[in-house]
Amino acid sequence: MSSNHALDQNLTPEMRKNLFGNAYLNMLWHCPSDPRFPYWVHLPDEYYEEKNPEYELMVIIHGTGCAVENYIKEAKELADKNHLAILAPLFPGGLMERDDFNSYKLLSCDGVRYDLILLAMIEDMKNRYPGVKTDRFYLFGHSGGGQFANRFLLVHPERLKAVSIGAPGRPTFLNREEDYFWGIRNFRDYFDKDVDLEAVRKVPVQITVGERDTKYIGDSPYGDNRVARMRSLKKNFEEAGIETSLQILTGLEHADGEKERVQAAERFFLGL
């Protein structure tokens, strides 16, 4: 029976580098606590050359189509220049129901805690890559990833340095008169704790949306398109005492502009 070690035998560090390049710094790893879910990482090539590396961590959450590689590609340039490591989980569809692709956006659904899976991935990254600061990190997500980022802020504010929430069509508001997911009245039923508003207020929040993201997505008190709903979310957060900026991205609709979106988030993070 062959083993993967057969390919590694007698390789010097130079030979390994010439064979595999920077693969270890640009890898899709499985999550040890739940191998159904993998995660991408990216670290600059200089990581190998530094005696005591120190990198801040940015987490990127994919949208409905799981096309997270596009965001990683567009994030690399600024990340490399500014000592940012990148982690991007992959939450594939069809896990609990054949045609489901929404569960991860709720963080807690059908017995799966996607927020805790992300935290397990971050812990694994910490162990793999010494010098990556994982106690508190930057979080960005667009569309379905924006829903995840919005809700992760409310569940785990103590883990975030800042968050960029990109155009979620169905966000969660700080409304104690409405059930989760639109509101937080029964938040404890899902997460075994209430929203710690004081902790949330310590996290700088950016909301982004394309200026042309105005297609009808259903009637609601918060607006019938994403631009209107992002304005409502900003207003709701500010009324709760949360520092929130809204950036409307010129010329963008909903499904384009990966570079503009992720770099707007990076500039927000770096500006802090």
Q: Residue 13 above 90 pLDDT?
A: no
Q: Is 115 in a helix, a strand, or coil?
A: helix
From CA 220, how far away is CA 34, in angstroms rounded?
36
Q: What is the pLDDT of residue 97?
A: 83
What is the CATH topology of the domain spanning 20-270?
Rossmann fold (3.40.50)
From CA 241, how far away is CA 147, in angstroms rounded?
20
Q: Choose among 61, 54, 7: nearest CA to 39.
A: 61
Q: Choose among 164, 182, 172, 174: nearest CA to 246.
A: 164
Q: Residue 1 above 80 pLDDT?
A: no
Q: What is the pLDDT of residue 6?
A: 73
From CA 214, how far away is CA 256, in angstroms rounded?
14
3-state secondary structure 121-168: HHHHHHHHCCCECCCCEEEEEECHHHHHHHHHHHHCHHHEEEEEEECC
**What's CA 244's distance to the chain center, in Å?**
18
Q: Residue 91 above 70 pLDDT?
A: yes
Q: What is the pLDDT of residue 93?
A: 86
b/e code 142-155 from CB counts within 10 Å (16+ = b): bbbbbbbbbbbbbb
> Where does residue 217 rank: exposed (0-12), middle (13-18), buried (19+ CB within 10 A)?
middle
Confidence of residue 270 (pLDDT cuts 50, 70, 90): very high
Q: What is the pLDDT of residue 8?
A: 76
pTM: 0.95
Query: Could you read off the pLDDT of 37-90 as tens digits, one per residue?
Result: 999 999 999 998 888 899 999 999 999 988 899 999 999 999 999 999 999 999
From CA 4, how far away is CA 251, in angstroms rounded?
49
Q: What is the pLDDT of residue 262?
A: 96
Output the six-digit token pair for 155.
């569940």
From CA 171, how far away is CA 149, in angstroms rounded?
10
Q: What is the pLDDT of residue 18?
A: 81
Output the six-digit token pair for 14.
């130079």
Delimit the domains of the chain by residue range: 20-270
Query: Could you read off the pLDDT of 117-172 as tens digits, one per residue?
Result: 999 999 999 999 999 999 999 999 999 999 999 999 999 999 999 999 999 999 99
Q: Residue 238 above 90 pLDDT?
A: yes
